[in-house]
């Protein structure tokens, strides 16, 4: 994967996530973690090589098929990407709303989720008035509201203290137990040490696995 | 029940703030043009109805300046009365004829000095088509030089001119509509650029292009129909005051004023529907624009 005529950001990566798995993605800043995730949530196409998602070759996915696939993917963006003209509850409800969900049901479900991540008193405020950590939790609530088959979280605990980070990790584990494949990009070594999941390390365009688990392998 | 928020902050960006005013102006112009066209159309129809079924037969005076012999006139009249489709035959008397000519010839007409043609007014049954050419031929056999004048012949060019004006009006409305469509396309494209990031996010959380299009189209509908209602209101005020002023200025045709300026119920409905029409045009234009631009992306 490269951008324009720049250097190849991701070289020969051979990665396959087993359905229902839980992965950490680490690597120095600028290694291409976010870029790898962009490929996975169909925001970019690989410039060479092949990638497949839910058994579909990414390069053959048509525009009209993308919404259906993206509804099965929850993304926590590194920069949150919350909409500041909407309240937090409307932000969280967005994925269900664009999928045609009933407004009332969708809002009450979003409110419930926000209460769960500890933001019950901020339902009707604009995200811009919240702290970085609070915005991050709104972004996480939005990513998980559809109970996606694949959750991609790009440094989702970068702005919260460890106590909240653990709480959020438990939320991701809960989703994982319900069948969601989870991949979390993070720098937080404490967190990685605390949870015993395979760690994918990305550096200089190459991917390696530093903690192999028995049942989940990278070829 | 809470009002569903716009997922795109279209009403907050300045790009389309002028759109309602612009559409308002266009609807104002279109409504006036349409109203004038409708009035002219109904005036044409009224002239037409008033003149249909009436013809004038003109029997030339003998070249020697003498009066038309009565038996010749009688022959012409009886031929006309026997013609199928003619319901009434009325020779105009000399006094009436002089009355007609007074503006040109003055009051002292010496009818022996000026050989005047004899005029016969005839009316035809409603819907019957008299072949004026054939009638003229058989009349000329009785009195050479007799002619039949249909009013169409001399009013026809007036009708044609009036119809041309109506056509020009409709063309102008078409141009105004095209201008409005171009404006909405431009505004929509600008909106797509301004809100590129939000639209990308909507796509990433699984929105289809049609969801994005709905945001634009409902916004365009509200703006255009709102602006259009304003423009139509102004246009109606202009029509009513303009019409009243014209009616009183002429000192006549109050009847027309009180009959809705000659505009039919359907015509008034068309005028009142202008804001809705503007809204629907805006909606469809915005939708097609968004879908075609997004569809070209990968
Ligand atoms: N849209 C882009 N155009 C050009 N270069 C980009 C773009 N996005 C990312 N990059 C480059 O790709 C590299 C990897 O970026 P990123 O995936 O954000 O790394 P990480 O998330 O691991 O910190 C960086 O050098 C960055 O400058
Ligand atoms: Mg990154």
Q: What is the ipTM of this complex?
A: 0.89
pLDDT of residue B259: 54
Closest of A175, A89, A178 to residue B2, by C-alpha: A89
A86 near B CB under 8 A: yes
Chain A neighbors of B211, CB-CB under 8 A: 98
pLDDT of residue B154: 57
Q: Is the pTM of this model over 0.80?
A: no
Ligand 1 pocket test, pick from A8, A29, A30, A155 with the greatest ligand atom count within 8 Å of Cβ, gives A30
Q: Which of B195, B197, B205, B211 to mutate to test the interface with A (most CBs of A within 10 A)?
A: B205
pLDDT band at B2 (very low <50, low <70, confident <90, very high): very low
B41: pLDDT strictly greater than 70 = yes
Q: Is residue A217 part of a domain?
A: no
Tokens of residue B62, six digits = 């003998």
pLDDT of residue B226: 93
Ligand 1 pocket test, pick from A4, A28, A29, A34 with the greatest ligand atom count within 8 Å of Cβ, gives A34
Q: What is the pLDDT of residues A2-25, one digit of tens each?
A: 776 667 767 777 777 778 889 999
pLDDT of residue A214: 42
Nearest to B204 among A63, A68, A75 (CB): A75
A3 touches ligand 1 (CB under 6 Å): yes
Contacts of A174 (CB under 8 A, 6+ apart): none
B217: pLDDT strictly greater than 90 = yes
Question: In the predicted model, what is the mean pLDDT of residues A136-145?
Answer: 93
Chain A neighbors of B2, CB-CB under 8 A: 103, 107
Instruction: Average the pLDDT over each of B146-160, B190-204, B275-289 and give the range with the smallest value.
Output: B146-160
Instruction: Average the pLDDT over each of A18-32, B36-50, B72-86, B239-253 and give the range with the smallest value.
Output: B239-253
Residue A154 CA, closest ligand 1 atom number: 21
Closest of B223, B232, B230, B235 to residue B279, by C-alpha: B223
Do A67 and B208 lie within an 8 Å CB cutoff? yes
pLDDT of residue B1: 33
Nearest to B202 among A68, A71, A98 (CB): A98
* Chain A closest-CA separation from residue B183 CA (Å): 26
Please give the residue range of the domain that contains residue A114.
22-45+61-211
- Burial status of residue A58 (CB atoms within 10 A of its CB: 0-12, 13-18, 19 or more): middle
* CA–CA dist A94, A84 (Å, integer): 13
A103 near B CB under 8 A: yes
B53: pLDDT strictly greater than 50 = yes
Ligand nearest to the CA of A79: 2
The count of structural domains within chain A is 1
Instruction: Average the pLDDT over each of A179-183, B77-81, B240-244 and give the range with the smallest value.
Output: B240-244
Q: Check: CB of residue A106 under 8 Å from CB of residue A93.
A: yes
B185: pLDDT strictly greater than 90 = yes
Cβ-based contacts under 8 A for chains A and B: 56
Chain A neighbors of B7, CB-CB under 8 A: 83, 86, 94, 97-98
Output phi, psi for A207, to 5 deg: -110, 135
* CA–CA dist B176, B191 (Å, integer): 22
Q: What is the pLDDT of residues A181-206, one digit of tens each?
A: 999 999 888 888 888 888 988 888 78
Name the residue at shortest CA distance from atom 17 of ligand 1.
A32
pLDDT band at A117 (very low <50, low <70, confident <90, very high): confident
In this structure, are strands B118-124 and B86-91 parallel, antiparallel, or unpaired? antiparallel
In the reported structure, the alpha carbon of residue A39 is separated from the centroid of ligand 1 by a whole-number distance in angstroms of: 12
* CA–CA dist B269, B259 (Å, integer): 15
Which residue in chain B has the smallest CA separation from A98? Answer: B207
Q: What is the pLDDT of residues B146-176, one digit of tens each?
A: 888 776 655 677 777 877 887 888 888 888 8
Closest of B100, B102, B92, B18 to residue B54, by C-alpha: B92
Q: Check: CB of residue B214 under 8 Å from CB of residue B296.
A: no
B182: pLDDT strictly greater than 80 = yes
pLDDT band at A218 (very low <50, low <70, confident <90, very high): very low
Chain A neighbors of B214, CB-CB under 8 A: none
Q: Is residue A113 part of a domain?
A: yes
Round the average pLDDT of chain A to a whole number and report it: 85
- Helices A103-116, A132-144: inter-axial angle, 10-degree rounding: 130
C-alpha dihedral over B111, B117, B120, B124, to 10 degrees?
Answer: -160
Q: Is residue A9 part of a domain?
A: no
Do B204 and A70 lie within an 8 Å CB cutoff? yes
Ligand 1 pocket test, pick from A2, A35, A43 with the greatest ligand atom count within 8 Å of Cβ, gives A35
Which residue in chain A has the smallest CA separation from B198? Answer: A83
pLDDT of residue A83: 93
pLDDT of residue A123: 93
CATH number at residue A134: 3.40.50.300
Output phi, psi for B27, to 5 deg: -65, -35
Name the residue at shortest CA distance from atom 1 of ligand 1.
A3
Nearest to A94 among B2, B205, B297 (CB): B205
Q: Which of A81, A128, A149 to mutate to test the interface with B (most CBs of B within 10 A)?
A: A81
Q: What is the pLDDT of residues A43-85, one digit of tens each?
A: 888 877 777 788 788 778 888 888 999 999 999 998 899 999 9
pLDDT band at B117 (very low <50, low <70, confident <90, very high): confident
Q: Is residue A6 part of a domain?
A: no
Q: Is residue A151 part of a domain?
A: yes
Do A70 and B297 lie within an 8 Å CB cutoff? no
Q: Check: CB of residue B245 under 8 Å from CB of residue B227.
A: no
Q: Check: CB of residue B208 under 8 Å from CB of residue A67.
A: yes
A33 touches ligand 1 (CB under 6 Å): yes
Q: Is B157 helix (H, G, I), strand (E, B) or coil?
A: helix
Name the residue at shortest CA distance from atom 14 of ligand 1.
A32
Q: What is the pLDDT of residues B132-150, one digit of tens each?
A: 788 888 888 888 888 887 7
pLDDT of residue B257: 47
A178: pLDDT strictly greater than 80 = yes
* Chain B closest-CA separation from residue A111 CA (Å): 15
Q: Check: CB of residue A2 under 8 Å from CB of residue A35.
A: no
A219 touches ligand 1 (CB under 6 Å): no
Q: Which has more pLDDT, B275 or B37? A: B275
- Burial status of residue B223 (CB atoms within 10 A of its CB: 0-12, 13-18, 19 or more): buried
């Amino acid at each position: 994967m490269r951008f324009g005529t720049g250097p190849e950001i991701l070289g020969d990566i051979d990665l396959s996530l087993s359905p229902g798995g839980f992965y950490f993605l680490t690597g120095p800043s600028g290694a291409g973690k976010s870029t790898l995730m962009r490929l996975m949530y169909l925001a970019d196409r690989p410039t060479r090589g092949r990638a497949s998602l839910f058994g579909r070759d990414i390069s053959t996915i048509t525009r009209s098929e993308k919404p259906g696939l993206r509804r099965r993917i929850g993304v926590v963006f590194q920069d949150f990407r919350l909409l500041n003209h909407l309240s937090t509850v409307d932000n969280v409800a967005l994925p269900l709303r664009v999928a045609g969900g009933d407004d009332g049901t969708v809002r009450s479900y979003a409110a419930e989720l926000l209460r769960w991540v500890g933001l019950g008193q901020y339902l009707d405020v604009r995200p811009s008035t919240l702290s970085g950590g609070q915005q991050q939790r709104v972004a996480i609530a939005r990513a998980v509201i559809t109970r996606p088959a694949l959750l991609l979280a790009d440094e989702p605990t970068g702005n919260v203290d460890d106590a909240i980070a653990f709480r959020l990790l438990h939320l991701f584990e809960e989703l994982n137990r319900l069948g969601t494949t989870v991949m979390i990009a993070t720098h937080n070594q404490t967190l990685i040490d605390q949870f015993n999941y395979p760690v994918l390390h990305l550096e200089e365009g190459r991917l390696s696995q530093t903690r192999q688990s028995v049942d989940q392998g990278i070829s | 029940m809470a009002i569903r928020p716009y997922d795109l902050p279209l009403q907050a960006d300045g790009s389309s703030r002028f759109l309602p005013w612009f559409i308002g102006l266009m609807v104002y112009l279109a409504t006036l043009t349409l109203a004038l066209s409708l009035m002219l159309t109904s005036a044409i129809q009224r002239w037409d109805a008033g003149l249909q079924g009436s013809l004038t037969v003109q029997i030339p005076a003998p070249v020697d300046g003498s009066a038309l012999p009565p038996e010749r006139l009688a022959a012409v009249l009886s031929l006309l009365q026997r013609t199928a489709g003619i319901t009434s035959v009325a020779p105009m008397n000399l006094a009436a004829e002089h009355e007609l000519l007074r503006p040109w010839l003055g009051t002292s007409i010496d009818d022996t000095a000026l050989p005047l043609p004899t005029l016969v007014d005839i009316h035809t049954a409603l819907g019957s088509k008299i072949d004026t050419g054939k009638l003229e031929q058989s009349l000329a056999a009785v009195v050479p030089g007799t002619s039949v004048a249909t009013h169409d012949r001399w009013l026809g060019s007036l009708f044609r001119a009036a119809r041309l004006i109506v056509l020009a009006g409709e063309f102008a409305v078409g141009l105004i509509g095209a201008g409005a469509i171009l404006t909405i396309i431009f505004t929509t494209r600008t909106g797509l650029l301004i809100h590129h990031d939000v639209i990308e996010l909507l796509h990433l959380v699984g929105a289809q292009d049609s969801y994005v299009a709905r945001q634009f189209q409902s916004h365009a509908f509200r703006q255009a129909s709102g602006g259009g209602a304003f423009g139509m209101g102004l246009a109606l005020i202009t029509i009513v005051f303009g019409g009243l002023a014209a009616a009183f200025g002429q000192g006549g045709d109050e009847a027309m004023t009180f009959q809705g300026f000659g505009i039919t119920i359907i015509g008034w409905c068309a005028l009142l529907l202008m804001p809705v029409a503007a809204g629907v045009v805006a909606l469809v234009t915005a939708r097609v624009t968004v879908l075609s631009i997004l569809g070209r992306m990968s």
